[in-house]
Amino acid sequence: MAKETGRKMVAQNKKARHDYHIHDTFEAGMVLSGTEVKSLRQGRASLVDAFATVDDGEVWLRQAHIPEYSHGTWTNHTARRTRKLLLHRREIDRIERRLADAGTTLIPLSLYFSDGYAKVEIAVATGKKEYDKRQTIRTRDANREAERALAERQRR
């Protein structure tokens, strides 16, 4: 069987970029059981309530929902168990330094397969205020209108 190449997206946390200012992103491997991998390969996962923590020099993904494998037996995994993330020591130290600032948190942005390995993209982020969210929407709409006007002008 040929080795899988490229990047296959499994789940994205779409609200994350809307609710948070993203400062720094990291790619981390995940420690998974066999049925979790099979469930992910079916494209079933959710990062809606998920977050990550650093405990005793290790990074953990919490509240990520990977549903039980449909063809699993008594060896099936728990859907919302805490999963260990694999990062280099330097990266963990950098994350810990960034999390020492008030108001920062560690959130997952996406879950995907990269060259056959399950990976999660995590980010150090701070929460947006309501006026920040409105400003982001206003900027996006203004850019969209400008693109539309430019495209219309080029069509003539």
Tokens 């709409």 sit on residue: 141
Report angle CA 23, 24, 25 to the nearest 5 degrees. 135
Beta bridge partners of 89: none
Band (pLDDT 50/70/90 cuts) for residue 3 is low
Band (pLDDT 50/70/90 cuts) for residue 45 is confident
**CB 67 within 8 Å of CB 39:** yes
Q: Is the pLDDT at 73 greater than 70, yes or no?
A: no
Q: Average per-residue pLDDT in the chain?
A: 87
Q: For residue 47, what is the DSSP state?
A: -
Percent of the chain clearing pLDDT 70 (strictly above): 91
CATH of domain 7-128: 2.40.280.10
- Domain residue limits, the chain: 7-128
Tens digits of residue pLDDT in 121-146: 999 999 888 878 888 889 999 999 99
Band (pLDDT 50/70/90 cuts) for residue 84 is very high
CA terminus-to-terminus distance, the chain: 53
